[in-house]
């Protein structure tokens, strides 16, 4: 059985972080995001190959994962000649498949039991199975209606309050039968949500839902990207090095240097080669990337700092995200919600 990861997007909602780093390999702590999806797929023994559908900076991703031998599963790459949309990408990458395929959107992090989804798909002899997940604010999403047997009835794009009949949304995880791909035109941008799925309903084909109420998040915005780190540190999502789920857990690499007089307040993460000098403070929910330096009197709290940055004396970084190789000058203040791209330099006393 094959798995197809739709990882070709430009990550526009995460810019400027994704200008030089494709979204599938933005770091979650010190691991590229794609590792977490591959870990989940490896839990299903019959999945013997992962197909990565790429378009944006594909070489960066190929160089990182190679043939998959280091992550324990075969990886094959398919590069779209141009962005083809969700259904178009599936058609382009999966047109030679002859067995059921697991399809994952490239920005979904979840702990779903994929074997259960596959079992439902087979027991219902479905042409397609879609994972749905409930949300607190249904008006912000496209909703998916089902009947009492779990058959898909309709898709409703961002409804008004009086139109809401469910709080289940498309979770971006599907089991599909490749012989349904014939309705997707070749080399044309085509939407799985607006075109392919409605065709299943119109033809009255067996199209069923698996409703999943566990952990699920789309990491595609800075707020959600930050939330993932908090969720892992709080034990809401089990991942190394916080798999124990212990409250207020602090992880400091053995190769990091924390000088006497520095303050570390958990939960937080300090990667290898980082230096936190005397008088500096690393506050709760901070992520200090590899080889990053936090100088005397600096305060970093609730922030994600990618590798090779320098936070100079008396600077303050609160609830922000800093890309690689940023240089933050003395007495700089960076406030909540700021997102700095790679190699950003803020001169002394700047406010951002």
For the chain, how far is it from start to end, CA to CA, in angstroms?
Answer: 49
Tens digits of residue pLDDT in 207-240:
999 999 999 999 989 999 999 999 999 888 988 8
Element (H, E) at 121: helix 114-123
Instruction: Output the pLDDT for position 125.
Output: 95
The one-character DSSP state at 3 is E
Instruction: Output the pLDDT for position 130.
Output: 96
Tens digits of residue pLDDT in 289-308:
999 999 999 999 999 999 99
Element (H, E) at 227: helix 222-233
| Nearest of 214, 316, 301, 228 to residue 26 by alpha carbon | 228
> Domains in the chain, please, with CATH?
2-214 (3.90.550.10), 249-346 (2.160.10.10)
Ranges under pLDDT 70 in the chain: 140, 158-159, 243-248
């Amino acid at each position: 059985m094959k798995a197809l990861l739709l990882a070709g997007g430009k990550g526009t909602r995460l810019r400027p972080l994704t200008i030089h780093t494709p979204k599938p390999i933005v770091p979650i702590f010190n691991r590229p995001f794609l590792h977490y999806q591959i870990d989940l797929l490896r839990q299903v023994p019959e999945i013997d190959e992962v197909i990565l559908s790429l378009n944006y900076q594909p070489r960066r991703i190929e160089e990182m994962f190679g043939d998959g031998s280091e992550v324990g599963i075969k990886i094959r790459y398919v590069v779209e000649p141009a962005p083809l949309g969700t259904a178009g990408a599936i058609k382009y990458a999966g047109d030679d498949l002859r067995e059921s395929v697991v399809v994952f959107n490239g920005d979904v992090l979840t702990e779903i039991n994929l074997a259960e989804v596959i079992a439902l798909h087979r027991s219902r002899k479905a042409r397609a199975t879609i994972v749905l997940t409930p949300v607190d604010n249904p008006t912000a999403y496209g909703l998916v209606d089902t009947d009492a047997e779990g058959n898909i009835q309709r898709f409703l794009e961002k409804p008004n309050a009086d139109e809401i009949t469910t709080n289940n949304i498309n979770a971006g995880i599907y089991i599909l039968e490749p012989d349904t791909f014939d309705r997707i035109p070749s080399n044309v941008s085509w939407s799985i949500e607006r075109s392919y799925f409605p065709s299943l309903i119109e033809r009255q084909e067996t199209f069923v839902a698996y409703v999943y109420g566990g952990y699920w998040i789309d990491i595609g915005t800075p707020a959600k990207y930050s939330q993932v780190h908090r969720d892992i540190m709080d034990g809401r999502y089990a991942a190394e090095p916080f798999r124990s789920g212990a409250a207020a857990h602090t992880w400091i690499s053995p190769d990091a240097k924390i000088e006497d007089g520095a303050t570390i307040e958990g939960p937080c993460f300090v990667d290898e080669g980082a230096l936190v000098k005397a008088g500096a403070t690393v506050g709760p929910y901070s992520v200090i990337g590899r080889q990053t330096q936090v100088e005397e009197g600096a305060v970093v709290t609730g922030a994600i700092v990618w590798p090779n940055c320098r936070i100079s004396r008396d600077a303050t970084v609160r609830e922000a995200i800093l890309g690689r190789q940023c240089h933050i000058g003395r007495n700089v203040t960076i406030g909540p919600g700021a997102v700095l791209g790679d190699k950003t330099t803020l001169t002394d006393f700047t406010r951002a």
